[in-house]
Chains A and B, each alone.
Chain A
Amino acid sequence: MKRTLTLLSLLGLWLRVAAQGGAPMWLEQTLYGNGKINVVVAVVAVIIAGIGLWMWRMDRRLTKLERTNTRSKQP
């Protein structure tokens, strides 16, 4: 819960910061070059990273369950 809030507020902050000021030239060249295909690459990368992050947290959650389980089985 706390982490979700932190992540989302960081996201908002990034969007605000990124919205201010002119973007550097390299970004324009990367995004606008080759028929803007790199935007698609970035979008797919973000989605995979996001689902990956979710998987990581799910993994942690299950690890915690496993630990509780072994503890409860001990006499």
Chain B
Amino acid sequence: MRFFPHTESDIRAMLDTIGARGLDDLIAHVPASLRASAAINLAPGKNEAEIVAELGSLAARNTGASAFASFLGFGAYRHHVPAAVRAITARAEFATSYTPYQPEASQGTTEAIFEFQTMITQLTGLEVANASMYDGASATAEAVLMAHRVAPKRKRVALARALWPDYRDTVRTYLSALEHLELVEVPFDPQSGATDLAALERIADDRLLCSVIGYPNAFGIVEPLGEAAALTRRAGAIAIAVTAEPLALGLLKSPGELGADIAVGEGQSFGLAPQFGGPGVGFMAARMAHLRQMPGRLVGETHDRFGRRAWCLTLATREQHIRRERATSNICTNHSLCALAATVYLAMMGRRGLRELASRNVELAHRAAATLASAGICARFGAPFFNEFVVNAGDAAAALARAERATILAGLALDSYWPELGGALLVSVTEMNTQSEFDRLAGALAGVN
């Protein structure tokens, strides 16, 4: 096995030092009955060429990865990843290091995390961001738990129905042991596709713990976050904004500016391939007043013995390895290398580039919507949208099948998640899509070939 360095003489010498006759002597104390049945019934090891062939043929069977024009989004997005991102994240100094518990040996990782934290605060308009969470859905659940620590007496969690079903389900699972908390769904307006503010207002009282609103929401709609946050905060509750397409934060007013107390989301759009859904990277930002209730790692600035600037993990007294059962979260390993990818990506895009790219996404998505509309495929909702929109596709399943025959993944039928949205199709557009794809999409959905 090419990963093992042990020669016969190494093994002999090491066993001699230990005072053992053979390798099996070293495990002789493990109960014999367990050892007797421990054989692993898997094929013998394969060589590199065999593995490349085997996994390569599996990869080739995923024809949806590259053989289609794709309009799939819904929380995972196809954006161009600059070569610089992969070149950096492939560096073994980053990829094969551990959580930076020894700051002197981890200044590369810690400085990059400090930069990630800074850029997340800049994008969200909030004051403190952590080193990353697993993904957008679990970050949302952690945000609700954090709100619960900030306001432990309040019981009611208002979840927008226009949030991604995965996010709502994840919150439900994380809260399943906190039986005194009540989940309330805030409906969306069937005309606009935005969260029904009047419905939110009706539950905005002293029982409300937090509101959780997508920004943009699962339909791509730019929610009236400012109004929603104001209603929430007027009731003394915590406003949580959730973003699954973080590119939007390059153009839209920041959640912090609009009054959100906590901004969480998914960072996959920032330099990570879709990878069939993971790993992405969750982010979380909040106000300094809530710092001690934040979950996850934080990197802070400090200095070495001679006063030179340095970085290290800090405020660990919130965390599981110190506080154990009283920790703010059980999170340990997070998604550090993915946060590094996002950091490189954002550094490449920069102050102007990110806004330009976000603008291009908006412009292209609206051109796609116009192309579909002129073929008779009309938008379902009236509120402004970012780079995803919902159309009426008639028989959505039939439309998707027609599109697939024309090598187009036309989007996602929404009725299995929202039964009230029969015939609705979510179409996602990024800078990777072209006008000729829009034309083909329009033809396929309209049944014109």
Are chains A and B native binding partners rather than an unrelated pairing?
no
